[in-house]
Structure 1
Amino acid sequence: MKIIRLRPLVSALILSGCSSAAFAQLGQNLSVDIRSLTMGNAVTADPPGISAIHFNPAALTKIEGLQTDVQGVLAHFDVQREFSAPADYNVFGYSDDPLVCHDGPEILADFCTDFKGEVSGDVEYASLYVPVLKKFVDLGEGMPLAAPTAGIAYNPPGSKTTFATAMYAPLIAGFGAEDGNPGNFMGQQVALERITYLSPSIAYQVNDELSVGASVGMSYQAIAMNTDLRFPNDLIGMLRMIDEVVCTPFKENSDIITDILLLGICNAQEGMNPFGRFGQMDLAVEQSLSPSYNLGVLWEPREDFSFGMVYQSSAKMRLKGKYHIDNAKAPSELIKGLMSSPTGQILAAILGFPNYIPASESGLVAMDFEYPAHFQAGIKYKVMPDLQVNFDVGWTDYAAWDKFKFEFDRQISALKIAKLLSEHVSDSSLALPMGFQSPWSWGIGIEYSATDRLKLRAGYEPRTSAIPDDKRNTMVPINNARLFGLGVGYRFDADTDLDLSIGFLQSRDKIPANTSSLANKEGVNNLLLNPYAGLNVKTASNITILGLSYRTRW
């Protein structure tokens, strides 16, 4: 079976933070080097050509003379999500959620009489955020993401020093869907990109056994998204009950007495609904220059054995950009109703509510973001003259994502309401606790030399999720994942190599109702980001990567 695929501003920003976290775990090292992909990324002790800039710059000393590498990577994202209502599904007594319920407006019951069962809707196409245009570009249904890379290295004759630079994408991913897709409440279009456009590197051969190296990466970082928003929460359910039950007798017969007693809530032209659409948000933040560095060591005591180690530094950034919100009518009418009553105005003043909610809001936003540090070490061992085994272990500091902080150039009406629910919110800032973990992972690769010219490769890398069980979400559905790779390398002559690779990453996850505070948890204190509160969620991600590499020496 196929699986799918208090306020708009606050939730959209939270979504953007979550998307970066999930994407980073999903896309790490998938678009850097295709030979590494087929070896389960277990190449610290056996880095491939100029891509050693990323995996272990010390191995650049293995390059002789002038060498160039050109690679093309195509990635196809098949992201699916499925939603279903458990037997006891309700939000403050209401269960007529149109996402999972067939009932139309002709059914007057507050509870659903005909549940749909499993609701599916795939992510429909890949998307990219284009820096110069500052907008999304949708690639069309079935079209893959492309990540071309290129590099050049030079080792002067007789020198122990090698110089290099490359352009590559440590992380690039994005998706989108058409209007009406049930998955759009956690991102209709999402893109996360880190593109290293310049990476000056140097490696030095200390002796016949030991090499050291370093590289400095100059990268572009962007996070962009637009999303529909809804808040199926008991507080919103209570407001619906007040509108439909308490206010019904006074809708056409209100007076000053009822306005005072009912705080003016009944004067709203449209009532609140926990299953209604609250608005739509566009957000994009970026940084043109985000520097980081890699340090590597390569030890080769014997021809059949080597040990490698690399440290990839973190990159702390201050991402800046713009946001735009289109607010739905219902929340605006609620504030308008409060302002129509003396007692409503007093309550709003005590709580610090805005005097009104505009139809749209725009402004500048900044986000503190850290691309996490990574450490990896591994060995290469030739079991037989024609059979080589690589094994690596690695650690990524996703615990640096303890929280994401957003700051705005003005006071936001959304935050004036949300600050009542959290100590992490002020009128013009938001700090979102994330609680991510720093997992260890491993990978293994096998390379068989069928002939002097032909090499066959296979790799496997199980990826432990950095996302805690109570933070799983559907933005990019991933928990634990498995990466498989197959490849073939062919040497045309002493100076020219061609590699062809295919990789497949698979992730499956179940998020039972009321288990994740970033997807489907119930409770009054989970208002801000639970668009599927009370629903069961299943996710599946299948990513297929094809790559071609051409390497030549001059």
Structure 2
Amino acid sequence: MGRLLCAAMSFVAALALPAVANAQGFLVPGIGPVNQSMGGAATAAPLDGVSAMYYNPATITALPSSRFDIALEVLSNRNELASSVPGLAGSTGSKAGMAALPAIGAVWQDQESPFTYGIGLFGTGGFLVNFPASPTNPLTAPPPLGMGNLYAELTILQVAPTLAFKVTDNLSFGVSPTFNVATARADPFPFVAPNTDGRYPRGTANRNRWGGGIQAGVYYETDMGLHLGAAVKSPQWFETFEANSTDALGLPRPVTLDFEYPMIVNLGAAYSGLEDFLFAVDVRWVDYESTPTFGDPARFNPDGSIAGLGWKSTWVVATGVQYQATDRLAVRAGYSWNQNPISDNRAFFSALAPAVYQHIFSLGLSYNLTDCVILSAAWVHAFENSVSGPLYAPGPLPGTNVKLSQEVDGGLFGISVLF
């Protein structure tokens, strides 16, 4: 039983590094209050500079003017980890508190040139899981029965300088190199073999890691109010994550992990032919299966380390509607659905990244204080969802269970200045 629980906890830590605060799997479902209130649909519906640069750089040519946007999202991410083995069962909630994700964007249009320029800074992911020890929960039971408290953190910031070109009055092309900085910590760290005392080393003493990639997109507007867009964001390649850890005797033991942000393909359509209304829909594909660590098989290696998380590539559908209620007030509603990258029979491997929700509803509004200053706000709710499956040591164990649950609420606030 002790080996079972130790193995279980190693899987739990496996998702610690890559987990994200509000995730369709690993991704934030939207960026800023305007886009979040549209359910994350933006590939063919440019409403602000932040979401235009994040989803489809070509669409910044369609914004009505140059602008500066700044926004903050505050999240309450409620995760629950329950586990059971014969004779013992319990549940533990994460004591993670509130998380904050920033979004900043600036777009400059030259009326005498077909080029539009922009730069964005986004909090593309942020995660903090902090499960306290519990004597009744096998996975968080105090050692030597379990692993005690579990801690994992990830923060990713992305900077995206953007250039878009109006090929014709109706067709635009955009490109954006992306630069990323990530901080990741996990205790315990199960991607290496356990120490001689049977425990996994810590993965908390490290530095920020840098990465990069590229994004490109096209945008087409018809004269009948139909808008079409497509964009591809390459994988974001990061330096190898390294942490200064120790072995059972307290001697130096470096630990490492290869990590990437998955490739994303966006297709979008929008319709503005009905007076005062804008309708938008995005279909998004996220390639987790080709991503190191995420797509690698969810299993134990012979040395006791974790090979990967076994996530599936997923489809996402995002929809939104905007109604221009008055000259100054616009109201929005959105809904998005995504496949769950975590299979029930692999729930055990994702215990520290229970990004399992699939249905997200949002409401929002924008109000023009003046002709050039706009205030925006939104509320987002990810409905509770869960996955459950057996514990592994190293194969599935009859009579055992791990259940991961998640529910999220978010409040977003932003200000835009047009010039």
- TM class by smaller structure: 0.7 to 0.9
Structure 1 residues 165-203: Cα deviation after superposition (integer angstroms, max 9, x where no partner):
12111111112133447454497111122111x321101
Asked if the contact 1:402–1:434 (Cα under 8 Å) also holds between the matched residues in 2, the reply is: no
- Distance in 2, matches of 1:405 and 1:476, equals 14
Q: Distance in 2 between matches of 1:541 and 1:305?
A: 37
Match of 2:178 among 208, 212, 217: 217
* 2:379 equivalent to 1:489: no
User: 1:405 touches 1:431 (CA, 8 Å); kept in 2?
Assistant: no
Q: Does 1:391 align with 2:388?
A: no
- TM-score scaled to structure 2, two decimals? 0.83
Q: Is the contact made by 2:157 and 2:180 (CA closer than 8 Å) also made in structure 1?
A: yes
| Larger CA deviation: 16-25 vs 444-453 | 16-25
Q: Distance in 2 between matches of 1:394 and 1:387?
A: 23
Q: CA–CA distance in 2 between the matches of 1:228 and 1:161?
A: 47
Q: Equivalent residue for 2:291?
A: 401
Q: Secondary structure at the match of 1:470?
A: helix
Q: Deviations over 1:406-457 (max 9, x none)?
A: 9xxxxxxxxxxxxxx845x59xxx6714433212221111111111211111
Closer/same/farther in 2, CA of residues 484 and 27 from structure 1, 3 Å limit: farther
Per-residue CA shift, 1:136-164, capped at 9, x if unaligned?
Answer: xxxxxxxx111222222211232211111
TM-score by length of 1: 0.64
- The answer to whether the 8 Å contact 1:370/1:400 transfers is no
The equivalent of 1:282 in structure 2 is 202
Structure 1 residues 149 and 431, CA gap change in structure 2 (3 angstroms): same
Deviations 1:255-284 (A, max 9, x none): xxxxxxxxxxxxxxxxxxxxxx95464204
Matched, 1:459 2:379: no
| Alignment partners' CA distance in 2, 1:489 and 1:16 | 41
- In the other structure, the counterpart of 1:147 is 101
Q: Any conservation in 1 of the 2:4–2:392 contact (CA below 8 Å)?
A: no
Q: Give 1:190-229 correspondences, 5 Å limit.
A: 190-196=152-158, 198-227=159-188
Residue 165 of structure 1 corresponds to 119
Residue matched to 1:521: 392
Within the candidate set 254, 262, 265, 1:375 is matched to 265
Supply the distance in 2 between the matched residues of 1:436 and 1:283 (Cα, whole angstroms). Answer: 22
Unaligned runs of 5+ in 1: 1-5, 90-94, 101-117, 127-143, 230-276, 327-357, 407-420, 515-519
Shift of 1:365: 2.3
1-structure distance, mates of 2:301, 2:171: 54
1:536 aligned residue: 401
Is the 1:380–1:390 contact (alpha carbons within 8 Å) kept by the matching residues of 2? yes
Question: What displacement does 1:50 show?
Answer: 1.7
Residue type at the aligned position of 2:388: I
Q: Which amino acid aligns with 1:174?
A: L
**Aligned residue for 1:324?**
245
Cα 1:497/1:186, change in 2 over 3 Å: farther
One-letter amino acid matched to 1:521: Y
> Does the 8 Å contact 1:84/1:536 carry over to 2?
yes
What residue number does 2:194 align with?
Answer: none
Aligned to 2:326, what secondary structure does the other structure show? Answer: coil
The structure-2 alpha-carbon separation of the partners of 1:228 and 1:314, relative to structure 1 and needing over 3 Å to count, comes to closer
Identical columns (%): 20
The structure 1 residue matched to 2:314, chosen from 424, 436, 439, is 439
Residue 33 of structure 1 corresponds to which residue in structure 2? Answer: 32
Which runs of 5 or more structure 2 residues have no equivalent in the other structure?
141-146, 191-196
Match of 1:18 in 2: 15
Q: How does 1:471-490 map to 2 (within 5 A)?
A: 471-473=346-348, 474-490=351-367
SS in 2 for 1:200: strand
Letter in 1 for 2:405: A
1:48 to partner: Cα distance: 3.0
- Give the number of the structure whose alpha-carbon radius of gyration is greater: 1
Instruction: Return the offset for 1:74.
Output: 0.5
1:85-484 correspondence to structure 2 within 5 Å: 85=85, 89=86, 95=87, 100=88, 119-126=90-97, 144-180=98-134, 182=137, 184=140, 185=147, 188-196=150-158, 198-227=159-188, 279=199, 281-284=201-204, 288-302=209-223, 304-324=225-245, 358-382=248-272, 384-401=274-291, 403=293, 422=301, 425=303, 432-473=307-348, 474-484=351-361
Deviation at 1:487, TM superposition (A): 0.4
Distance in 2 separating the partners of 1:157 and 1:545: 37
**Contact 1:380 1:389 survives alignment (8 Å):** yes
8 Å CA contact 2:211, 2:239 repeated in 1: no
Cα 1:25/1:364, change in 2 over 3 Å: farther
CA 218–150 in structure 1, closer or farther in 2 if over 3 Å, else same: same
Aligned partners of 1:56 and 1:213 also within 8 Å: yes
Report the CA distance shift for 1:72/1:21 in structure 2 as closer, same or farther (over 3 A).
Answer: closer
Deviation at 1:66, TM superposition (A): 4.1
Distance 1:9 1:192, change over 3 A: farther
The number of residues matched between the two structures is 395
Residues 14/82 of structure 1: CA separation in 2 closer, same or farther (3 Å cut) = closer
Superposition deviation, residue 509 in structure 1:
1.9
Deviation at 1:13, TM superposition (A): 6.9
Counterpart amino acid of residue 231 in structure 2 = V
Taking the aligned partners of 2:48 and 2:332, their CA distance within structure 1 comes to: 16
- 1:220 Cα offset (Å): 0.5
- Could you say which structure has the higher strand fraction? 2
| Contact 2:218 2:229 (8 Å CA) reproduced | yes
What secondary structure is seen at the aligned counterpart in 2 of 1:398?
coil
The structure-2 alpha-carbon separation of the partners of 1:186 and 1:388, relative to structure 1 and needing over 3 Å to count, comes to farther
Name the one with the larger helix percent. Answer: 1
Superposed CA RMSD in Å reads: 3.3
Q: For 1:282, what is the secondary structure of its paired residue?
A: coil
Give a deviation string over 1:312-342, Cα, whole Å, max 9, x none: 110222323224357xxxxxxxxxxxxxxxx
